[in-house]
Amino acid sequence: MNIYSRAIKLLVLLLIAQLISACGYSPSSKFSRDILGQKISTSVTISAKDPENSVLIKDAVDSAIVESLQASLVGKNESDTHLALSISNPTYLPIQYDSNGFIVTYRMSVRLKIISYNNGISKNYITHGTYDFSVVPNAVITDKERFDAIKFSASKAINEFISKTSAEGARINKE
């Protein structure tokens, strides 16, 4: 009986070890890093009409790269991949009104064009991000609300870019 219980325990441990080691799980950030590399540099085309937005986009991009990809931000000369970004004019769309007809919720929409330069090859990506925010009825949108809306919608657009590169990396690893 003692031999059988030891054999069963050993068999259960071996099955658990097999299940854990053979699951094949890889986080999506790993696939993006396979495409983009570990060292990434970024640049944002500054809009003459709205230079503040360009700075916000740069900050959102850099933050998303560090948080989502766990990649390092480096100078252009040291990078595996360089990302050149440009933003279209952000748009505000009213999406909710109160009973008096005043706008109480807006949707900020941002469209990013991202060109990825890696090993002499460039790829173009177009991504979109939206962010819904509330305002006091019959009020003007403050700079803080506008900046926050641009930052959050740009962050969503960057996450869409990361998803696209992750899907490319998964396809490459599957082949």
For residue range 28-48, list pLDDT tens digits in order: 777 777 888 888 888 888 777
Amino acid code (one letter) for 13: L
Pairing assessment for the beta strands 103-118 and 91-97 based on DSSP bridges: antiparallel
Question: 3-state class of 79 per DSSP?
Answer: coil
The mean pLDDT of 25-30, rounded to a whole number, is 70
Q: Which range has the top average pLDDT, 9-13, 49-53, 157-161, 168-172? A: 157-161
Please state the CATH superfamily assignment of the domain spanning residues 38-174 in this structure.
Answer: Lipoprotein like domain (3.30.160.150)
Angle at 30 between CA 24 and CA 31, to 5 degrees: 90
List the one residue out of 79, 84, 86, 85 whose CA is nearest residue 40: 79
Whole-Å CA distances, 74 to 29, 41, 58, 119: 18, 5, 14, 16
Q: Map out the domains of the chain as residue ranges.
A: 38-174
**69 within 8 A of 32, measured Cβ to Cβ:** yes
Q: pLDDT digit string (tens) for 79-116?
A: 999 999 888 778 889 999 999 888 899 999 989 899 99
User: What's the CA gap between 73 and 75, in Å, rounded?
Assistant: 7
d(CA 48, CA 2) in angstroms, rounded, equals 80
Question: How confident is the model at residue 142, as a pLDDT?
Answer: 80
